[in-house]
Amino acid sequence: MTARDLDRREVLAAAGALVGLALPPIGCSADTELALAPGQVAVPLSDLPEGDRRVVIVGENPVEVLRADHTVTARMLRCTHMGCVVRWRPDARIYVCPCHDGRYDAEGNPIAGPPPRPLATVPVSIRGTRVVLG
Ligand code: FES
């Protein structure tokens, strides 16, 4: 891997994390109908199409939210090795960390490289038409 490859990967990883910021209501906790605890984020269920992966910023961390088979799961996208932002590769159905080429399977379990633990899960609860993360 060259320094140029690493720079490009870091930019792509950061851009992927920012996608969550660019989505209008996602990441917005200014919901007057829900009492959210500090650090919690509410996302409208309507913003989570079935089978789609969305990135939401919770605190300072990118969290992937996946709605599939009538359930919603959330996973921290911080590598468990040194905290770089991992990204989903749909073609291979794995998460890849750009820093040291750590890899995780589709369930977030480490399968190659230095990551010592699975990607952390984030608590999810459904409140009416909202998904609360954290
Ligand atoms: S920080 Fe992800 S493999 Fe090292």
Distance 2 CA to ligand 1 centre (A): 16
Q: What is the pLDDT of residue 108?
A: 97
Pocket of ligand 1 (CB under 6 A): 79, 81-82, 84, 97, 99-100, 102, 113-115
Which residue's alpha carbon is at the smallest distance from atom 1 of ligand 1? 82
Among 51-60, 88-97, 100-109, the least confident range: 51-60
Q: What is the DSSP letter of 78?
A: B
Whether the model pTM is above 0.85: no
Residue type at 125? S
Phi first, then psi, for residue 72 (nearest 5°) are -120, 130
Q: What is the pLDDT of residue 39?
A: 85
Name which of 56, 50, 51, 58 is nearest 20 in CA terms. Answer: 56
Q: Which CATH code is given to the segment(s) 3-133?
A: 2.102.10.10
Residue 41: exposure state from Cβ atoms within 10 A (0-12, 13-18, ≥19)? buried
Mutate to test the pocket of ligand 1, among 1, 9, 10, 79 (most ligand atoms within 8 A of CB): 79
Q: How confident is the model at residue 133 (pLDDT cuts 50, 70, 90)?
A: very high
